[in-house]
Structure 1
Amino acid sequence: MIGHDATDYPLSSRRRKRKFLVCINPFSGPGNAKQIYSHEVKPVFQEADIEVEELVTIKQNHAREFARTVSYKDYDAVIIVSGDGLIFEWLNGIMERDDRDQAIKLPMGIIPAGSGNALATAMLVSKQEQCFKNSHLHSALLAAKGRPTPMDVVEVHYGKKKVYSFLAVAWGIISDIDIESEWLRFMGSPRFTIQAFIRIMALRKYRGILYYLPAEGYSQSSHSTQNGHVVGGGGNEGESSNHKAPLVNNTSVSVQAGDGILNPSFQSSESQESHDGSSESDSPTTQQPLLPPLSEPVPSNWVKVEGKFVCIVVLQDSHLSRDIVAWPNRAFNEGVMCIQYVMYPVSRRHLLDVMVEMGKGDHMEKNSVTSVFVKAFRIEPLEEDGIVTVDGEKVEFGPIQGQMMETKANILIPS
């Protein structure tokens, strides 16, 4: 019965008590995840008559190891009480399973208990819920009332490793701020603001090459686009305005410078069309590959941007943290990434303005910020060392590349 398609089980005939697996990271952010869960989240689940099984992590990658072997069919959802780090662990543990195509459908509910809380914030904002006040309670209500909603996943390669990303790949000032602010972890989200000011005052430049495959024909309602590139942007004082993304058309360009969750397949109505009729042998590895090996050149229809950067961020989410709206109005399953980058030189004053505008998502209108929508990317640093992050986690420094996957994860929000 468990292996049948969700469409075989009408919602009205499958009313039953739900069961959530709750993963709590007591070391996340300020270190109060256990208190958040017991005081604000658990009472909501009890009131909703949801059975819970709790896992309190005791070490790094504990959730990843657990996800590799958990009997996921025993649960209607997994609830992550942590920051974005535990989501990354869980997702990658699931993707290391032989049955990952089915296991990844187990919906994730997110309770913000870390420093950044990007995905939790994006989920709250998508439903016009508060993310600055009573966010734990609102997130618990989203989970209790939620239904599976598909979310994009990006396959990322670096060194000899492969990981899966739901949030962002970053190199430059953004990744530096993230990792170098660890000494302020006890402060929660203000740590990023303080470290951002420090890093802007001691501004660095990063030599490298960015390659990407444009998502041609893609458009988002909040942006005017042509061949996958944002069109527009002002010319404010202090901005480096001599570089904008080239518009391409298959040409290589080089630029210098809720209730009754359907447990059997955890399938949402939004994802039903793309999954109906697919065989269990379908695998993330069977999709059309866009990435060559890192040791080989990219295809001729990719765009190349070479020069000195201030930052490169490859986004799959609307938020980079609770306070940073990186890609306004981004839906969870748009099937494309947004690369945002700033070239050097740029004034410190202007960069401060960009950081402030990121609080509202208005930074994309700045002439120094180039935004391109892509299906795949590669970043090749030309520096000897530095910091590259995937979903806020520091990874081996060096070339890194990724592509949007056809396989989707599920998050738990009301329809």
Structure 2
Amino acid sequence: MNQVLINSRGVSTSLRFNDASFFIEPTTLDGHKSSCCAGIYTSRRVKRTEVPLRNVISAQIASGALEVQYLVRKSKKSRLNLAMTSGTVQNEDSTRAKKWCEALLLAAYQGANPSKNLKVLVNPHGGKGKGRASYVTKVEPILLAAGCTLDVTYTTHGGHAIEIAREMKLGYDALVLVSGDGLIHEVLNGIDQHEHRDQAFCIPIAPIPTGSGNGMSLNLLGLQDGLDVCAAALNVLKGQPLKTDLFSFAQGDRRRISFMSQTIGITADIDIETEHLRWMGDTRFIIGYISAVIARKSCPIELSMKVVDQDKSRMVDVLHARRAGESPTPSSLPSSLLSADNKPDSASSVHREWTQFKRPILWMYAGKGPFVSRALMQFPVSIADDGLIDIAIQEITSRRDLLRAMDGAEEGRTYWKNTNQYFKVSAYRARPLAPKGTLVVDGEQVPFEEFEVDVLNRLGTFLSPFPHYAPEFLVRDIQGNT
């Protein structure tokens, strides 16, 4: 039972599905009772449409009408939009049509309950300031179509999400965050203060990308869907929990949770000095980078790390093997892999003792997840739950070399640059040596002073279509050859 017919004024349409797709096709009514579940009358002629079964949101019959809502693209490169096909069911076919709807939803949600109890936080001021409009016009209709219960709060001030997350109840199926990465940072730090902290961290977070960078959404959904609010809403309904590492960022007796990145030097300057350009979206970072390259300020810093690996080729191999389910986590690599010529500056890295990095640098970027923005795949070999922090350190080089590095940065091509030192570490600490500068954690500026970062293995939970980060890292060298 995988087909129904809809008909209007002599024009009929077949609705059917298989294990992969939902189909809407022009047909005829002749003999339909022997091959379908119901006859349904629609108001207009339709053309053949094939929709991935995952994109089906709802299917129901009420008051003699059958309605199917789904997400569809106008072209391969366009974003998803909510669409609907509907019609009137003949009385004698209503029971069979109802069973058809139930079967379609069972296949589309793979047996899961479409209706979820969701806590929704909307930041109306993030990114280009379109969070409220995007939520009301695109996201909310999708969630309501699936029958979700929505507890919606619009944030009004910095730190508001920390307050909400700290006091929230534990009965939600997911936390839907309509904003950029800053709101995720606030929510995680609020959860860290929750009375039932461990239980609260198990509630999955589902970002809806309306900020500037939207790095986490890109990491969960990939480049095509990572900035698509409808694709992100679909992930709320169909995604599965993905455990990720979080970080403990400590300065003296002050501690905060970090989920994505910590950076100091030029890259930190770019983040803060382009705040006034948020209306431009992630284009602000490109403009900021060009300006920073012209200035090319060095970053005097005392940096120590507990190094696990720095062999770039091996890290790529481990990433691909892990995605294929064929490899242990990099944190379980034997110490013997860290041979003498793989150590940064000290033999102590074999025993994961503190090892200093002493060469002059322009910036240090540490974190988790391939993308920090659409234009920059900063940590291409990052693994969600390997218990490690990826660190990229840019040594001092020419302005020309830095500008050329923009080519292919969205593919992670800078990973292979000789002046880009890349490490996987279990912890690191840094002390700025300049009197003034910028230090940024998850896009938020923090005091410019000594800090230490440790891994909180698998503490974070996000909704994801995949059991790993979505972006693939295929580039094998700086020229782009694979």
Does the residue aligned with 1:251 lie in a helix, a strand or coil? helix
| Partner Cα distance (1:83, 1:148) in 2 | 20
Aligned match of 2:438: 387
Task: Answer whether contact 2:310 2:343 (CA < 8 A) is retained.
Answer: no
Aligned match of 1:274: none
Residue 337 (structure 1) aligned to one of 389, 401, 404? 389
Distance 1:54 1:229, change over 3 A: farther
Mapping of 1:11-50 within 5 angstroms? 15=113, 17-50=115-148
1:156 paired with 2:285, answer no
| Partner Cα distance (2:190, 2:305) in 1 | 28
CA RMSD of aligned residues (A): 2.9
Aligned match of 1:310: 362
Which runs of 4 or more aligned residues in structure 1 lie more than 3 Å from their structure 2 counterparts after TM superposition? 11-17, 216-231, 247-250
Using the TM superposition, give the Cα deviation of residue 402 of structure 1 relative to its aligned residue in structure 2, in angstroms. Answer: 0.4
Distance 1:306 1:36, change over 3 A: same
Aligned match of 2:11: none
Task: Answer whether contact 1:155 1:403 (CA < 8 A) is retained.
Answer: yes
Task: Answer whether contact 1:165 1:390 (CA < 8 A) is retained.
Answer: yes
Which AA in structure 2 matches 1:163?
Answer: R
Using the TM superposition, give the Cα deviation of residue 211 of structure 1 relative to its aligned residue in structure 2, in angstroms. Answer: 0.5
Which AA in structure 2 matches 1:206?
Answer: C
Task: Answer whether contact 1:223 1:230 (CA < 8 A) is retained.
Answer: no
Which AA in structure 1 matches 2:198?
Answer: D
Residue 355 (structure 1) aligned to one of 376, 398, 406? 406
Distance 1:306 1:103, change over 3 A: same
| Partner Cα distance (1:131, 1:18) in 2 | 22
Using the TM superposition, give the Cα deviation of residue 216 of structure 1 relative to its aligned residue in structure 2, in angstroms. Answer: 5.2
| Partner Cα distance (1:106, 1:229) in 2 | 39
Task: Answer whether contact 2:266 2:292 (CA < 8 A) is retained.
Answer: yes
| Partner Cα distance (1:136, 1:300) in 2 | 42
Aligned match of 1:204: 297
Aligned match of 1:116: 213
Gaps of 5+ in 2: 1-108, 320-329, 467-482
Aligned match of 1:131: 226
Instruction: Write out per-residue CA displacement over residues 305-340 of structure 1, whole angstroms, 9 at most, x where no aligned residue.
Output: 124210001121111112211122533222211110
Distance 1:252 1:44, change over 3 A: closer
| Partner Cα distance (1:150, 1:216) in 2 | 22
The more displaced of 51-60 and 219-228 is 219-228
Distance 1:407 1:13, change over 3 A: same
Which AA in structure 1 matches 2:439?
Answer: V
Which AA in structure 1 matches 2:367?
Answer: L
Aligned-pair identity in percent equals: 29
Using the TM superposition, give the Cα deviation of residue 137 of structure 1 relative to its aligned residue in structure 2, in angstroms. Answer: 1.0
Gaps of 5+ in 1: 1-10, 232-243, 254-298
| Partner Cα distance (1:389, 1:333) in 2 | 23
Aligned match of 1:320: 372
Using the TM superposition, give the Cα deviation of residue 152 of structure 1 relative to its aligned residue in structure 2, in angstroms. Answer: 1.0
Using the TM superposition, give the Cα deviation of residue 228 of structure 1 relative to its aligned residue in structure 2, in angstroms. Answer: 8.9
Distance 1:252 1:228, change over 3 A: closer
Residue 451 (structure 2) aligned to one of 363, 386, 400? 400
Residue 62 (structure 1) aligned to one of 160, 163, 177? 160
Which AA in structure 1 matches 2:231?
Answer: H
Instruction: Write out per-residue CA displacement over residues 353-384 of structure 1, whole angstroms, 9 at most, x where no aligned residue.
Output: 22333211010101010000001001111110
Instruction: Write out per-residue CA displacement over residues 212-251 of structure 1, whole angstroms, 9 at most, x where no aligned residue.
Output: 00125996444699989999xxxxxxxxxxxx97358961
Task: Answer whether contact 2:307 2:426 (CA < 8 A) is retained.
Answer: yes
Does the residue aligned with 2:401 lie in a helix, a strand or coil? helix
Using the TM superposition, give the Cα deviation of residue 85 of structure 1 relative to its aligned residue in structure 2, in angstroms. Answer: 0.4
Task: Answer whether contact 1:312 1:342 (CA < 8 A) is retained.
Answer: yes
Using the TM superposition, give the Cα deviation of residue 13 of structure 1 relative to its aligned residue in structure 2, in angstroms. Answer: 10
| Partner Cα distance (2:392, 2:425) in 1 | 11
1:365 paired with 2:419, answer no
Residue 105 (structure 1) aligned to one of 199, 202, 206? 202
Instruction: Write out per-residue CA displacement over residues 140-166 of structure 1, whole angstroms, 9 at most, x where no aligned residue.
Output: 111110121101101111243101111
Instruction: Provide TM-score, normalisation by structure 1.
Output: 0.76
| Partner Cα distance (1:188, 1:77) in 2 | 26
Higher strand share: 2
- Whose RCO is larger (CA < 8 A, sep 6+)? 1
Task: Answer whether contact 1:309 1:343 (CA < 8 A) is retained.
Answer: yes
Distance 1:55 1:223, change over 3 A: same
1:51 paired with 2:149, answer yes
Task: Answer whether contact 1:101 1:407 (CA < 8 A) is retained.
Answer: no
| Partner Cα distance (2:148, 2:310) in 1 | 44
Mapping of 1:290-301 within 5 angstroms? 301=353
Task: Answer whether contact 1:229 1:247 (CA < 8 A) is retained.
Answer: no
Which AA in structure 2 matches 1:107?
Answer: P
Number of residues of Structure 1 aligned to a counterpart in Structure 2: 342
Using the TM superposition, give the Cα deviation of residue 197 of structure 1 relative to its aligned residue in structure 2, in angstroms. Answer: 0.7
Aligned match of 1:269: none
| Partner Cα distance (2:435, 2:417) in 1 | 30
Aligned match of 2:173: 76
Distance 1:413 1:306, change over 3 A: same
Does the residue aligned with 1:359 lie in a helix, a strand or coil? helix
